[in-house]
């Protein structure tokens, strides 16, 4: 049956926008999914509990991000086969992706449960916050299979050009998460463990919904459970695409974790303020997430179909949308940060730390948007190792070096705030130079 979501035909602009819009709405619910824990814990438990949940973001992203990268890589492979209209190859890619996802879920659960306390101590997490941080992580990762398999199933669905169904799953699971958060934390007073449990249940729910949709799909990407078989060659291809992307996510988190250890030295107020701001920033990055994923899928499908010019047209349009939307939201966040932060916690110190970051980072959101957009494009062109190298150098090594040595000259908190726009600029220039050179080589080949 013909896939009506195929991105290799029809209006370039319409295909990208219609794919990105559900992703943007889905990202809203994904961020609400993440923010609700902090909002409810901050209002019903206390500052230390808020610091524990807020500072959890970077460590969770370190572990979760790696396995998410594997699913993104799998999605690129599936999209290539779908674009080429290779039914047999698509089926092999889909089945192998599910097997890789199952293996990843086991590894992620083990990693989260065993490594969390060690990494928290390396991050210099204050002793007053440590018990609740460990509790949050252990409950969260006990339900990690739901998260990994959701991302696995959704990577296949999105690779087919369908971004609407993942939106429905996120809406349902996010509403469930809010209800359970209020029940476990506000009513049953289960503390941070209750917040983590609510999140885990929501993730399992979304995974089951995605599985049901994938097994009922109309098209070559339909999952037939009884036909799932391992394919070594396909698994190697998926890992070749997914490993660099997973490492990229982890590299970003490793750099942020090291910066977080510097933030922790300023105390719980700084931890809570920056942690809450990071969640708000996640909302501002919604266009980045949506259009980056749209660009990767669009480029992958069209290159699979041999439509190089169409892929280039999509890159130009997608990047333009991404830059305009993200910068507009960044400026808005800069002005509304005091009010938004106060919704999470009324402490003047907590709000002050969050506002300081918003006023520095907000005007430069176009840089981080361009970096992620170009990284998505380069991945779609089959070079996922390039963004990984750029992020390793710019977002990890340079950030750590600047903070480590810069703090000996200036120990103020603004050093942490300004290191982000600086490294966004470096990564944007690096990826742009590589992309221009890559396209020139293609044109002269």
- What pLDDT band is residue 359 in, cutting at 50, 70 and 90? very high
Task: Give the model's pLDDT for residue 3.
Answer: 58
* pLDDT of res. 356: 92
For the stretch 41-57, pLDDT in tens is 666 566 666 666 655 55
Q: Is the pLDDT of residue 397 over 80?
A: yes
pLDDT of residue 357: 92
In this prediction the pTM is 0.77
pLDDT for 28-40, tens place per residue?
776 666 666 666 7
Residue 2 has pLDDT above 60, yes or no: no
Q: Is the pLDDT of residue 413 over 80?
A: yes
Please determine, for residue 79, whether its predicted confidence score (pLDDT) is greater than 60.
yes
Summary mean pLDDT of the chain = 83
Q: Which residue has the higher pLDDT, 47 or 295?
A: 295
Q: What is the pLDDT of residue 377?
A: 92
The predicted pLDDT at position 188 comes to 83
Question: What's the pLDDT score for residue 319?
Answer: 93
Q: Give yes or no for residue 379 having a pLDDT over 80.
A: yes
pLDDT value of position 345: 73
Of 108-122, 288-302, 345-359, 379-393, the one with minimum mean pLDDT is 108-122
CB 363, CB 403: distance < 8 Å: no
- pLDDT given for residue 50 in this prediction: 64
Q: Is the pLDDT of residue 355 over 70?
A: yes
């Amino acid at each position: 049956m013909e896939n009506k979501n195929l991105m290799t035909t029809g209006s370039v602009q319409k295909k990208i926008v219609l794919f990105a819009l559900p992703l943007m709405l889905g990202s809203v619910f994904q961020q609400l999914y993440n923010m609700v824990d902090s909002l409810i814990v901050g209002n019903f438990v206390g500052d230390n509990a808020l610091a524990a949940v807020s500072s959890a973001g970077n460590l969770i992203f370190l572990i979760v991000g790696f396995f998410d990268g594997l699913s993104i890589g799998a999605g690129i492979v599936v999209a290539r086969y779908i674009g080429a209209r290779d039914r047999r190859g698509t089926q092999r890619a889909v089945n192998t992706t599910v097997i890789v996802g199952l293996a990843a879920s086991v590894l992620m659960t083990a990693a989260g449960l065993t490594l969390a306390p060690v990494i928290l101590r390396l991050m210099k997490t204050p002793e007053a916050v440590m018990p609740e941080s460990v509790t949050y992580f252990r409950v969260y990762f006990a339900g990690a299979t739901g998260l990994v398999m959701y991302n696995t199933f959704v990577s296949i669905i999105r690779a087919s050009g369908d971004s609407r169904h993942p939106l429905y799953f996120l809406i349902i699971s996010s509403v469930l998460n809010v209800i359970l958060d209020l029940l476990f934390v506000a009513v049953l007073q289960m503390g941070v463990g209750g917040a983590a449990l609510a999140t885990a249940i929501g993730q399992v729910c979304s995974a089951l919904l995605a599985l049901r949709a994938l097994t009922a799909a109309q098209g070559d990407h339909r999952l037939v459970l009884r036909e799932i078989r391992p394919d070594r060659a396909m698994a190697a291809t998926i890992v070749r695409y997914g490993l660099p992307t997973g490492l990229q996510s982890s590299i970003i988190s490793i750099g942020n974790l090291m910066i977080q250890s510097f933030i922790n030295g300023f105390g719980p107020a700084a931890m809570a303020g920056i942690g809450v701001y990071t969640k708000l920033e996640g909302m501002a990055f919604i266009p980045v997430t949506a259009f980056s994923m749209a660009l990767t899928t669009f480029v992958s499908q069209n290159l699979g179909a041999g439509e190089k010019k169409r892929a280039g047209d999509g890159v130009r349009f997608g990047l333009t949308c991404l830059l305009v939307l993200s910068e507009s939201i960044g400026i808005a966040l800069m002005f509304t940060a005091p009010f938004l932060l106060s919704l999470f916690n009324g402490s003047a110190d907590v709000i002050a730390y969050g506002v300081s970051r918003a006023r520095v980072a907000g005007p430069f959101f176009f840089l981080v948007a361009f970096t992620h957009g170009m990284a998505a494009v380069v991945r779609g062109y089959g070079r996922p190792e390039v963004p990984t190298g750029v992020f390793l150098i710019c977002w990890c090594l340079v950030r750590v070096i600047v903070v480590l040595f810069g703090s000996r000259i200036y120990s103020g908190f603004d050093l942490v705030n300004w290191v982000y726009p600086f490294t966004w600029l470096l990564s944007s220039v690096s990826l742009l130079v590589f992309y221009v050179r890559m396209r020139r080589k293609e044109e002269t080949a």
